[in-house]
Amino acid sequence: MTEPVTGSEAARPLGHVSLVGAGPGDAELLTLKAARLLAEADVVVFDALVSSDVLALVSPRAELIDVGKRPGQSIAQDLINVLLVRLASEGRRVVRLKGGDPFVFGRGGEEAVALAAAGIACDIVPGITSAVAAPAVAGIPVTHRSLAAMFTVVTGHRQHGEKPVNWAALAQAGGTIVVLMGVAERGVIAAALMAGGMPGDTPVAAIRRATTDEQVVGRCRVDQLADLAVESPATLVIGAVAALNVCEVVASAAYAVG
């Protein structure tokens, strides 16, 4: 028989965790709900890709906890799960702030499962994923009539023992391929796509730090991707649409009309 909880444990209500998408970087791309929760939070547990502009919206009374994974510095996901449970068990309003969308390669699903197992209330606040935001701000529509009727979002980072991405199948599928976390493996990815039948002259765009003042866009062909000068974090766009920049077209048309 389970012993009843007494004393201070019984008096302390459980807190709540919100898994919040911080978007690609520009604070103005946050949802209204995300901005409200940041202003109301007691503690914000944030990732490395969350911009300083977004963090500036956090209540000044809130505690900030950096759990970002960086080269040479990585906090195990299990420890982050334990941290979220502990903070909520203290009766605090917790925002787990993730770059992009929590459920797009953000491991938000794992955290939601861990919280549910601990009996902690949790809600999900979607964010704009860089998989569509980064191409968009570079003037690249991921779908475009006559060029791409579909797009695939895939990770370029696989841990040892995980099933590898079937690049050959993607090469044959057509449409647009958007690769997140793929900069380090860009040469391997390009070689695998070409081995699967993708033409070497297929256009590629790499958008680094999309939507921020540090945004840089590089363009090349898939057979040049290994040598493209680009640093993380960046989004790779592979396919016919990567040659487009509709923003320039619109700007040119507006100038001509004026």
Task: Tell me the Cα Rg of the chain.
Answer: 21
d(CA 67, CA 64): 10
Helix (H) or strand (E) holding 123: strand 121-125
3 state DSSP class of 206: strand
Q: Which residues of 151-186 are buried (b: 16+ CB within 10 A; e: fewer)?
A: bbbbebeeeeeeeebebeebbeeebbbbbbbbbebb
Quote the longest CA-to-CA distance of the chain: 80
Adjacency order of strands within the sheet including 63-66 = 63-66, 43-46, 93-98, 16-21, 121-125
Has 47 been annotated as catalytic?
yes
DSSP code at position 3: P
CA-closest candidate to residue 114, choices 144, 143, 133, 89: 89
Q: Which of 26, 47, 98, 101 is catalytic?
A: 47
DSSP code at position 229: -
CA-closest candidate to residue 114, choices 14, 2, 17: 17
112 in Cβ contact with 18 (< 8 Å): no
Q: Which of 69, 123, 223, 227 is catalytic?
A: 69
Has 163 been annotated as catalytic?
no
d(CA 243, CA 62): 44
Residues with catalytic function: 47, 69
